[in-house]
């Protein structure tokens, strides 16, 4: 069964003036249908204002669909009685690490979710230790969050969600405010969770480099899903990506240009290593 | 650096007093303050000083940290001392210009000064040995009975701890905004009081806006992590009394009893 499924999902932002009259309607998500299978690593890609964050907030029942339905692990997010169960199943990590850490000590913050769920004290400690170890932040458990770097804070946020034992983690642009080093740390942790703990990951991002490892990519534009497929399928359509105002990774762009000028390279090259390999094969083939 | 600021005035070390349950420390401070008003003679203050000295000794916090808290109220202290000294009617001892110092005045002034100093040092022992977090926890538990009167005790405690968590973040932000405004020609430390107050406006407005934005984000993050108020919530670090806490209660009661006895037996007496 799908862990997350949306059916004809539409979401409108309604702007109102001071009297409460409708001033305008912006459709942020427009008729989206998608399915996510357990254990998948899904990336949702799109430039600013493409509706990707709005879509993400539906997976955690923070936003309710204007039209259509969202199912999380078989539960309809419109079902108010199961709201907390849904939020526990699908954890959410936000963009700004400072605005989502509640505790004054790392371990207390990680314990916040389980505390809310009413987990017994002893088990909270076990979960906190296990989650902090999973993101490699166990040595920092006694630190104050404001003494950590951005990447470390974001890993604490991930641990905080992990401690709730979710089946699925939705990360809404978790690296947008981090430096390149912090980005790598976070993406590495997320990949490890997916590989080792088999947690379903939905990564919302506008950085192309981060989706290379995804099982499936959805590209959003104007609230709709514009493209979907494996990273290789997506990256082989360089022109279309550029049309959607997305930056293609430099290696992919380079191999695309090389292909265009006549070099018989395979389409959709994602990493430097791949390009080097392909060029090497080409070179030895010539000799 | 601004991110290294310590909140409250917690002094990090390991001692019996540090390990005590925050509830015990809160009640102890309250009782100690009460005791200062129960006794009214030299003997009583000697007992209070000895008790406090013992607590300080056990806390392993250097005495100068206790005195540091006094600096803030020095003005108040001098003022009280002066008023009591000159304005208490009674038997005149000597006269300076138009002000008469009376025997009762001296007694009263010294008494008030001693009371105030002990009060401040006494509360410092608590704040120096308890993390703000722990203090909030203790308060939450102590005030729990008020929940029956529909006082939102858990919510208040949660707000306090969130406020504490965000103080360094907002300080950092203030610093950032200040630099940004300075870069655009604003000055924050020139002119008279009114001008300075006015120059705070371009600092406070963006700070408030960003604080609200943060609050909004935080509320969403808390809800996403299943926060729904205090009902059905478990504690990661629940408070429970140990043997030493009960022992402290016994010592406290004994101390308070002694104070009451002294206050009763000895009539309103002179210190000198």
The DSSP result for B28-60, as a single string, is HHHHHHHHHHH--SHHHHHHHHHHHHHHHHHHT
CA angle, residues A158, A161, A166, in degrees to nearest 5: 125
Mean per-residue pLDDT for B81-103? 80
CA angle, residues B41, B46, B52, in degrees to nearest 5: 125
Measured between beta carbons, the chain B residues lying within 8 angstroms of A120 are: 234
Say if residue B24 is in the same domain as residue B115: yes
Contact in structure between A31 and A10 (CB atoms under 8 Å): yes
Q: Which residue of B has its CA nearest to A164?
A: B225
In a domain, B107, yes or no: yes
Q: Which CATH architecture has domain A4-230?
A: 3-Layer(aba) Sandwich (3.40)
Mean per-residue pLDDT for A175-196? 88
In a domain, B258, yes or no: yes
Q: Residue B127 above 80 pLDDT?
A: yes
Measured between beta carbons, the chain A residues lying within 8 angstroms of B3 are: 146-147
Contact in structure between A138 and A129 (CB atoms under 8 Å): yes
Mean per-residue pLDDT for A116-134? 92
Name which of B165, B222, B232 is nearest A118 (Cβ-Cβ): B232
Say what the pLDDT of residue B271 is.
44
- Percentage above 70 pLDDT, chain A: 100
Contact check, Cβ <8 Å, A102/B132: no
Q: Look up residue B67 and give its two tokens.
A: 């005195």
Say if residue B70 is in the same domain as residue B103: yes
**Model-level pTM?**
0.80
Binding-face residues of B in 174-193 toward A, CB within 8 A: none
- Percentage above 90 pLDDT, chain A: 36
Number of folded domains that form chain B: 2
Distance CA B18, CA B60 (A): 9
Say if residue B133 is in the same domain as residue B23: yes
Contact check, Cβ <8 Å, B226/A101: no
Say if residue B27 is in the same domain as residue B107: yes
Contact check, Cβ <8 Å, B236/A62: no
Confidence bin at B202 (pLDDT 50/70/90)? confident
- Percentage above 90 pLDDT, chain B: 11
Say if residue B112 is in the same domain as residue B219: no
Name which of B4, B165, B228 is nearest A104 (Cβ-Cβ): B165
Say if residue B118 is in the same domain as residue B45: yes
Confidence bin at A158 (pLDDT 50/70/90)? very high
Distance CA B268, CA A136 (A): 66
Nearest to B168 by CA among A196, A204, A145: A145
Q: Look up residue A179 and give its two tokens.
A: 């430096």
Contact check, Cβ <8 Å, A121/B235: yes
Say what the pLDDT of residue A193 is.
87
Compute CA B115 distance to the chain's CA centroid, rounded to the nearest angstrom: 16
Q: Residue B254 above 70 pLDDT?
A: yes
Say what the pLDDT of residue B2 is.
43
Distance CA A170, CA A52 (A): 11
Confidence bin at B8 (pLDDT 50/70/90)? low
Measured between beta carbons, the chain B residues lying within 8 angstroms of A62 are: 220, 223-224
In a domain, B7, yes or no: yes
Q: Residue B66 above 50 pLDDT?
A: yes
Q: Residue B106 above 90 pLDDT?
A: no
Say if residue B38 is in the same domain as residue B125: yes
Distance from CA of B213 to the nearest CA of A (A): 9
Confidence bin at B268 (pLDDT 50/70/90)? low
In a domain, B15, yes or no: yes
Say what the pLDDT of residue B9 is.
67
Contact in structure between A173 and A95 (CB atoms under 8 Å): yes
Distance from CA of B132 to the nearest CA of A (A): 10
Q: Which of A103-112, A170-179, B4-13, B231-240 has the lowest mean pLDDT?
A: B4-13
Say if residue B35 is in the same domain as residue B125: yes
- Best of B140, B221, B239 to substitute, by most chain A Cβ atoms within 10 angstroms, is B221
Q: Which of A123-137, A215-229, B97-111, B136-150 has the lowest mean pLDDT?
A: B97-111
Say if residue B131 is in the same domain as residue B159: no
Structural domain containing residue B110: 2-144+239-265
In a domain, B272, yes or no: no
Nearest to A68 by CA among A77, A81, A60: A77
Q: Is the ipTM of this complex over 0.90?
A: no
Q: Residue A157 above 80 pLDDT?
A: yes
Say if residue B121 is in the same domain as residue B177: no
């Amino acid at each position: 069964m799908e862990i997350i499924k949306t059916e004809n999902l539409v979401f409108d932002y309604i702007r109102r003036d001071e009297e409460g009259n409708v001033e305008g309607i912006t459709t942020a998500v427009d008729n989206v249908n998608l399915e996510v299978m357990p254990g998948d690593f899904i990336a949702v890609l799109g430039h600013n204002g493409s509706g990707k964050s709005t879509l993400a907030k539906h997976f955690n029942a923070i936003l309710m669909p204007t039209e259509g339905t969202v199912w999380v692990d078989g539960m309809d997010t419109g079902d108010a009685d199961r709201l907390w169960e849904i939020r526990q199943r699908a954890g959410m990590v936000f963009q700004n690490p400072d605005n989502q850490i509640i505790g004054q000590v790392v371990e207390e913050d990680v314990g916040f979710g389980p505390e809310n769920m009413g987990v017994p004290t002893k088990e909270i400690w076990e979960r906190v230790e296990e989650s902090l170890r999973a993101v490699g932040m166990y040595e920092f458990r006694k630190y104050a969050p404001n003494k950590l770097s951005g990447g470390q804070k974001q890993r604490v946020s991930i641990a905080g969600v992990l401690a709730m034992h979710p089946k699925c983690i939705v990360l809404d642009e978790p690296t947008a405010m981090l430096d390149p080093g912090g980005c790598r740390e976070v993406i590495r942790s997320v990949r490890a969770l997916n590989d080792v703990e088999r947690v379903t990951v939905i990564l919302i991002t506008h950085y192309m480099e981060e989706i290379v490892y995804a099982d499936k990519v959805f590209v959003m534009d104007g609230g709709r899903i514009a493209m979907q497929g494996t990273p290789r399928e997506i990256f082989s359509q360089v022109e279309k990506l550029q049309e959607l105002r997305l930056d293609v990774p430099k290696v992919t762009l380079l191999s695309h240009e090389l292909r265009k000028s006549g070099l018989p390279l395979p389409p959709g090259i994602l990493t430097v290593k791949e390009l080097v390999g392909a060029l090497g094969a080409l070179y030895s083939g010539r000799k | 650096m601004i991110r290294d600021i310590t909140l409250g005035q917690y002094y990090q070390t390991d001692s019996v007093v540090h390990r005590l349950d925050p509830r015990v420390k809160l009640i102890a401070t309250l009782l100690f303050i009460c005791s200062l008003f129960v006794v009214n003679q030299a003997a009583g203050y000697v007992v209070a000083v000895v008790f406090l000295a013992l607590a300080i000794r056990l806390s392993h916090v250097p005495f100068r940290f206790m005195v540091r808290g006094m600096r803030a109220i020095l003005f108040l202290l001098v003022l009280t001392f002066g008023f009591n000294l000159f304005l208490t009617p009674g038997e005149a001892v000597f006269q300076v210009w138009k002000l008469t110092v009376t025997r009762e005045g001296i007694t009263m002034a010294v008494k008030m000064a001693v009371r105030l100093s002990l009060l401040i040092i006494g509360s410092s022992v608590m704040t120096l040995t308890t993390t703000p977090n722990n203090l909030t926890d203790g308060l939450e538990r102590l005030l729990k009975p008020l929940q029956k009167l529909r006082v939102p005790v858990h919510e208040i405690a949660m707000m306090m701890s969130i406020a504490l968590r965000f103080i360094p973040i907002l300080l950092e932000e203030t610093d950032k905004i200040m630099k940004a405004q300075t870069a655009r020609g604003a000055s924050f430390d020139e002119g008279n009081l009114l001008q300075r107050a006015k120059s705070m406006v371009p600092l406070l407005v963006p700070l408030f806006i960003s604080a609200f934005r943060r609050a909004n984000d935080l509320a969403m993050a808390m809800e996403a992590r299943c926060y729904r108020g205090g009902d059905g919530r478990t504690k990661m670090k629940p408070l429970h009394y140990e043997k030493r806490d009960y022992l402290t209660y016994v010592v406290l009661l004994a101390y308070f009893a002694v104070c009451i006895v002294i206050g009763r037996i000895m009539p309103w007496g002179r210190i000198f």
